[in-house]
Structure 1
Amino acid sequence: MEIRGLYDVEHSGSKSRIQHELWPLDQIDAKKAKFPCCLVWTPLPVVSWLAPFIGHVGICREDGAILDFSGSNFVNLDNFAFGAAARYLQLDREQCCFPPNLSGHTCGLGYMHSEYGTALTWDDALRSSTRSFEHKTYNLFTCNCHSFVANCLNRLCYQGSMGWNMINVAALILFKGQWIDWMSIIRSFLPFTLVFCFGVILLGWPFVVGLFSFSLLLLIWYLLGTYCFKNLLEC
């Protein structure tokens, strides 16, 4: 394996751009639960049975090990809570900002990124977020696994943005994530389908209205907490 050096400096006119040299990644291995630089998602017990768009999300190191915030003051390592991953999305490290110093930012956010917390590597950013969330209280409604992943992406300044939050992290994995296999799809939607059918049979349309209201209220809560009352949710 040849590594040309840690950074390439390219000059263009009066500007210089520092490009981070990235180590090659291993292949994704779902059987061994190794997903290098991926977001991973799995359904939650009970909650996903009622609202299948809600699940548990984690972010993976460069070696593929999964990190997920699954309890107060606790970040899991290589032991994804709530079962095996059902969906994954591999992220492009080329779209991250790894500044060696203040003048080395490629994201255009400079001081804001430095103040939030920068990193020299992907794993370095994840370690910083892990240390931070090891002192946070877990709460499904205010500080959860999506908050942890958003914090990691903000430290990475992924896609040149520091606006990652619960909503767009969830949207990223749900709309762009890939299913691991057919069993993952069944495992994710079969409980909801059964609950829905039994609810309709036993309670009729009031159950459908109640289920829709539950999902809508959850969505409104996260939207308001994320975009209107930003101090309610943590990222």
Structure 2
Amino acid sequence: MSGATSDQITTAIVIPSENPSKSKVNQMSDDNFLSNNSTDRIDTKRVRYPHCIVWTPIPVLTWLFPFIGHMGIARTDGVIRDFAGPYYVSEDNMAFGLPTRYLQLDLNRVSSLGSSNNLRNVWDKAVEQASDEYKKRMHNLCCDNCHSHVAMALNTMGYDRKYSYNMVSLAFWMFFCGKYVNFGGLLRTWIPFLILASIVIVVTVVVKLQT
């Protein structure tokens, strides 16, 4: 009995044991890292675009003018808010279909009087304030529209220390800098315009050949 006890004690001394607290700390650190990354990850299947401006074509209008479309802005949880009609701001149900283009903005460029840890709250609050305001407004295609709603949110949060965003600047920003969500988004954006342009070109050529 004493020999067996001695062997057991020796084995316990020889085999090093892993520090459980250190292992737990490392695991928590890894989990936090993965969690932070996934928070900002775009998920097209679930239609989640964290702190993004999103854009989708408007039938007929975008077919004729590809730089014109419907725009929305997403909270940091990825849920899209868009000024979809008179006195109505949609939530998680974007008008005219799923986004085809997006711009994911940098939260570090959000102006905040408080701690940098509060930037997500500043973004979300600005989006909700703009949405609440546009629930009181009549939709005007030329003067006060979905782009204006997004512009108000960006101006409210002072994104990139700018307070002069408007429908024109946002339209061109998205047109020249926006990314396509996938190849299908590219096709949805351009195929109708290219078909119409091809028809116009063919008709023009035929008419000229006949004259």
Structures share fold, TM-score greater than 0.5 = yes
Matched, 1:89 2:103: yes
1:120 CA drift (Å): 5.3
The equivalent of 1:193 in structure 2 is 194
Give the SS at the match of 1:121.
Answer: helix
Distance 2:78 2:125 in 1: 14
Q: Is the 8 A contact 1:99 1:120 kept in 2?
A: no
The equivalent of 1:129 in structure 2 is 130
The equivalent of 1:14 in structure 2 is none
Distance 1:141 1:41 in 2: 17
Distance 1:81 1:190 in 2: 20
Q: CA RMSD in A?
A: 2.0
The equivalent of 2:165 in structure 1 is 164
Q: Spell out, residue by residue over 1:64-100, the C-alpha distance to the aligned partner (whole angstroms, 9 max, x if none).
A: 0001001010001000111111111110111011224
The equivalent of 1:152 in structure 2 is 153
Q: What is the letter of the counterpart of residue 99 of structure 2?
A: A
Structure 2, unpaired ranges of 5+: 1-27, 30-35, 206-211
Match of 1:60 among 74, 78, 86: 74
Q: What is the letter of the counterpart of residue 78 of structure 2?
A: G
Distance 2:40 2:68 in 1: 29
TM-score, normalised by the number of residues in structure 2: 0.74
Distance 1:41 1:168 in 2: 14
Match of 2:64 among 47, 50, 61: 50
Q: What is the letter of the counterpart of residue 191 of structure 1?
A: P
Highest CA radius of gyration, 1 or 2?
Answer: 2
Distance 1:120 1:31 in 2: 25
Q: Which runs of 4+ in 1 moved over 3 A?
A: none
Q: Is the 8 A contact 1:34 1:64 kept in 2?
A: yes
Distance 1:36 1:81 in 2: 18
Q: Between Structure 1 and Structure 2, how many residues are aligned?
A: 167
Identity over aligned residues, as a percent? Answer: 38
1:168 CA drift (Å): 1.3
Distance 1:130 1:99 in 2: 22
> What is the 5 A alignment of 1:197-212?
197-202=198-203, 204=204
Give the SS at the match of 1:70.
Answer: strand
Distance 1:47 1:148 in 2: 19
